[in-house]
């Protein structure tokens, strides 16, 4: 899918900006540290621009709320199990070693609340500049990987967000 087609698919109601920067995708995957025997779960998978470049892993499950994008995800990421629904309800039901997400900020805030109950080794999440991860610091190492904005996305994202790595200590 080219950049014009991605932009045409995006629905601002769902804050749909699709990450296309090869450099930022590589930084995301480096931070995730995906191993060939990992189960990977991506939430808010959009049109599959992240998932289609996912490094080799044992299983890949992608979750997307917008039912319009489900056929696109099945086409773009044929190796993935595609699930339509709300990430906050689905994430606790799917075992995973690595969690990747670029969700609207309000959803990410709610996801952070449930992170301690999830099984992942490493999570890599896009978050707003002011999203508060401090509540995780007793259990996880939290570090900023990079910032993402504008031309990193199609359509260009008007705001600046951060990619944040959350790693469970001792794993
Ligand atoms: C900013 S886009 C990111 C898409 C893709 N991960 C990327 O980086 O290119 C956010 C996506 O999250 C989806 N989304 C919004 N709320 C969601 C929720 N509660 N559960 C699952 N997906 C959601 C939107 O429909 C949208 O496709």
- Could you tell me the residue ranges of all domains in the chain? 3-168
Render pLDDT for 70-120 as a digit per residue (tens, 0 to 9): 999 999 999 999 999 999 999 999 999 999 999 999 999 999 999 999 999
Interface predicted TM-score (ipTM) of this complex, two decimals: 0.97
Taking the CA of residue 11 as reference, the ligand 1 atom at the shortest distance is 25
- Tell whether domain 3-168 is in CATH 3.30.750.200: no
Per-residue pLDDT, 170: 76
Is the Cβ atom of 18 under 6 angstroms away from ligand 1? yes
Burial class for 74, CB neighbours closer than 10 Å (0-12, 13-18, 19+):
middle
Distances from the Cα of 138 to the Cα of 77, 104, 126, 166, angstroms: 36, 25, 21, 12
* pLDDT cut 90: percent of the chain above it: 94
75-104 burial by CB neighbour count: b if 16+ within 10 A, else e? ebbeebebbeeebbebbeebebbbbbbbbe
Mean pLDDT for the chain? 96
Q: How far is it, in rounded angstroms, from Cα 8 to Cα 10? A: 6
Please indicate if the annotation marks 111 as binding a ligand: no
Per-residue pLDDT, 7: 93
Taking alpha carbons only, the member of 164, 160, 156, 127 closest to residue 16 is 156
Is the Cβ atom of 48 under 6 angstroms away from ligand 1? no
Q: Which residues, including other chains, have CB under 8 Å from residue 41's CB and lie 6 or more apart?
A: 61, 62, 63, 91, 94, 96, 98, 99, 100, 120
Confidence bin at 13 (pLDDT 50/70/90): confident
Query: How far is Cα of residue 15 from the mean position of the Cα atoms in its chain?
Result: 14
Taking the CA of residue 90 as reference, the ligand 1 atom at the shortest distance is 20
Confidence bin at 15 (pLDDT 50/70/90): confident
C-alpha atoms less than 13 angstroms from C-alpha of 139 in its C-beta half-sphere: 16
Per-residue pLDDT, 59: 98
Ligand 1 centre to CA of 161 (Å) is 14
Q: How far is it, in rounded angstroms, from Cα 29 to Cα 9? A: 25
Ligand 1 centre to CA of 30 (Å) is 21
* Parallel/antiparallel/unpaired status of strands 59-64 and 39-43: parallel
Please indicate if the annotation marks 150 as binding a ligand: no
Confidence bin at 60 (pLDDT 50/70/90): very high
Is the Cβ atom of 76 under 6 angstroms away from ligand 1? no
Evaluate whether 149 touches 157 at the Cβ level (below 8 Å). Answer: yes
* pLDDT cut 70: percent of the chain above it: 99
Q: Which residues, including other chains, have CB under 8 Å from residue 133's CB and lie 6 or more apart?
A: 112, 127, 142, 164, 166
């Amino acid at each position: 899918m080219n950049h014009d087609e991605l932009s045409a698919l995006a629905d601002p109601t769902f804050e749909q900006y699709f990450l296309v920067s090869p450099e930022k995708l590589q930084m995301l995957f480096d931070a995730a540290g995906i191993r060939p025997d990992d189960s990977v779960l991506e939430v808010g998978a959009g049109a599959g621009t992240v998932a289609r470049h996912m490094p080799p892993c044992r299983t890949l499950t992608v979750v997307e709320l917008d039912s319009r994008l489900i056929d696109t995800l099945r086409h773009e990421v044929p190796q993935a199990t595609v699930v339509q629904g709300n990430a906050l309800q689905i994430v606790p039901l799917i075992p995973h070693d690595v969690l990747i997400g670029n969700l609207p900020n309000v959803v990410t805030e709610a996801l952070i609340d449930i992170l301690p109950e999830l099984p992942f080794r490493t999570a890599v999440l896009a978050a707003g500049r002011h999203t508060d991860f401090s509540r995780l610091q007793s259990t996880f190492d939290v570090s900023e990987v990079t910032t993402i904005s504008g031309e990193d996305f199609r359509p260009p994202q008007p705001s600046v967000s951060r990619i944040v790595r959350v790693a469970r200590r001792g794993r």
